[in-house]
Protein backbone atom coordinates (compact mmCIF):
# COMPACT_ATOMS: atom_id res chain seq x y z
CA UNK A 1 0.00 0.00 0.00
CA UNK A 2 1.16 3.50 -0.71
CA UNK A 3 2.08 5.92 2.04
CA UNK A 4 3.32 9.47 2.42
CA UNK A 5 5.47 10.83 5.21
CA UNK A 6 5.98 14.48 5.98
CA UNK A 7 8.67 14.46 8.67
CA UNK A 8 8.17 18.05 9.80
CA UNK A 9 4.95 18.78 11.66
CA UNK A 10 5.70 22.48 12.03
CA UNK A 11 8.23 24.78 10.37
CA UNK A 12 8.91 28.44 11.12
CA UNK A 13 10.81 30.65 8.69
CA UNK A 14 11.43 34.36 8.46
CA UNK A 15 9.80 36.33 5.69
CA UNK A 16 12.16 36.47 2.72
CA UNK A 17 14.00 33.31 3.73
CA UNK A 18 14.02 30.17 1.63
CA UNK A 19 11.76 27.23 2.38
CA UNK A 20 11.96 23.50 1.91
CA UNK A 21 9.21 21.12 3.01
CA UNK A 22 10.04 17.45 2.98
CA UNK A 23 7.96 14.61 1.60
CA UNK A 24 8.81 10.94 1.34
CA UNK A 25 6.56 8.43 -0.36
CA UNK A 26 6.22 4.71 -0.63
CA UNK A 27 4.72 3.37 -3.83
CA UNK A 28 5.35 0.27 -5.87
CA UNK A 29 5.23 1.81 -9.31
CA UNK A 30 5.76 5.19 -10.92
CA UNK A 31 4.22 7.63 -8.50
CA UNK A 32 1.90 10.47 -9.31
CA UNK A 33 2.77 13.14 -6.76
CA UNK A 34 1.00 16.29 -5.64
CA UNK A 35 1.47 19.19 -3.26
CA UNK A 36 -1.58 20.98 -1.89
CA UNK A 37 -1.91 24.04 0.36
CA UNK A 38 -4.67 24.67 2.90
CA UNK A 39 -5.44 27.97 4.59
CA UNK A 40 -7.16 27.75 7.99
CA UNK A 41 -10.76 26.61 7.72
CA UNK A 42 -10.55 26.22 3.96
CA UNK A 43 -10.30 23.45 1.41
CA UNK A 44 -7.09 22.35 -0.27
CA UNK A 45 -5.65 23.96 -3.39
CA UNK A 46 -3.24 22.27 -5.76
CA UNK A 47 0.22 23.84 -5.87
CA UNK A 48 1.90 21.49 -8.33
CA UNK A 49 2.03 17.91 -9.56
CA UNK A 50 4.52 15.43 -10.98
CA UNK A 51 3.70 12.62 -13.37
CA UNK A 52 6.81 12.03 -15.47
CA UNK A 53 9.56 13.80 -17.36
CA UNK A 54 11.49 16.70 -15.90
CA UNK A 55 12.06 15.99 -12.23
CA UNK A 56 11.86 19.66 -11.29
CA UNK A 57 8.31 20.92 -11.54
CA UNK A 58 7.05 24.45 -11.22
CA UNK A 59 3.81 25.38 -9.56
CA UNK A 60 1.73 28.34 -8.61
CA UNK A 61 2.74 31.07 -6.17
CA UNK A 62 6.44 30.62 -6.92
CA UNK A 63 6.68 27.08 -5.56
CA UNK A 64 8.68 24.27 -7.11
CA UNK A 65 9.31 20.64 -6.20
CA UNK A 66 11.94 18.12 -7.13
CA UNK A 67 11.26 14.43 -7.62
CA UNK A 68 14.13 12.16 -6.56
CA UNK A 69 13.36 8.54 -7.26
CA UNK A 70 16.49 7.24 -5.52
CA UNK A 71 15.43 8.94 -2.31
CA UNK A 72 11.66 8.44 -2.74
CA UNK A 73 11.27 12.14 -2.09
CA UNK A 74 9.29 15.02 -3.52
CA UNK A 75 10.35 18.08 -1.56
CA UNK A 76 8.65 21.44 -1.98
CA UNK A 77 10.74 24.60 -2.18
CA UNK A 78 10.34 28.34 -2.45
CA UNK A 79 13.27 30.77 -2.72
CA UNK A 80 11.70 33.60 -0.75
CA UNK A 81 8.74 33.13 1.57
CA UNK A 82 6.00 35.73 1.91
CA UNK A 83 3.78 36.20 4.95
CA UNK A 84 0.82 35.02 2.88
CA UNK A 85 2.47 31.61 2.48
CA UNK A 86 1.62 30.74 6.09
CA UNK A 87 -0.65 27.72 5.80
CA UNK A 88 -0.67 23.95 6.04
CA UNK A 89 0.94 21.98 3.23
CA UNK A 90 0.07 18.45 2.21
CA UNK A 91 1.99 16.05 0.02
CA UNK A 92 -0.03 13.31 -1.69
CA UNK A 93 0.49 10.30 -3.93
CA UNK A 94 -2.16 9.36 -6.45
CA UNK A 95 -3.71 5.92 -6.41
CA UNK A 96 -6.24 4.01 -8.47
CA UNK A 97 -9.77 5.33 -8.78
CA UNK A 98 -8.42 8.82 -8.40
CA UNK A 99 -7.93 8.38 -4.69
CA UNK A 100 -4.96 10.07 -3.12
CA UNK A 101 -3.02 9.17 -0.01
CA UNK A 102 -2.10 12.28 1.94
CA UNK A 103 0.66 12.97 4.41
CA UNK A 104 -0.21 14.40 7.81
CA UNK A 105 0.74 17.88 6.70
CA UNK A 106 3.32 20.50 7.62
CA UNK A 107 2.23 23.77 9.18
CA UNK A 108 4.25 26.74 8.01
CA UNK A 109 4.58 29.83 10.20
CA UNK A 110 6.20 32.94 8.72
CA UNK A 111 7.94 35.37 11.06
CA UNK A 112 7.94 39.04 10.10
Partner 1 sequence: DGGITQSPKYLFRKEGQNVTLSCEQNLNHDAMYWYRQDPGQGLRLIYYSQIVNDFQKGDIAEGYSVSREKKESFPLTVTSAQKNPTAFYLCASTFRGGQNNEQFFGPGTRLTVL
Provide the binding-site residues for partner 1, judged by CB under 8 A: 4, 9, 32, 34, 36, 41-46, 49, 51, 90, 92, 94-100, 102-105
Nearest distance from C-beta of residue 13 to partner 1, angstroms = 20
Specify the residue, 31 or 110, whose C-beta has the smaller distance to partner 1.
31
Burial 32-61 (b: 16+ CB within 10 A, else e): ebbbbbeeeeeebeebbbbeeeeeebebee
Least CB distance to partner 1 at residue 14 (A): 24
Q: How far is the CB of 15 from partner 1 (least distance, A)?
A: 25
CA 76 to chain centre: 5
Q: Which is nearer to partner 1, 49 or 77 (CB)?
A: 49
CA dist list (Å): 84 to 8, 15, 88 = 20, 9, 12
Amino acid sequence: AQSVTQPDIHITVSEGASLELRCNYSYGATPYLFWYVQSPGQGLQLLLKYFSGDTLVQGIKGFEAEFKRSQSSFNLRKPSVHWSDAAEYFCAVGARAGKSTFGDGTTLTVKP
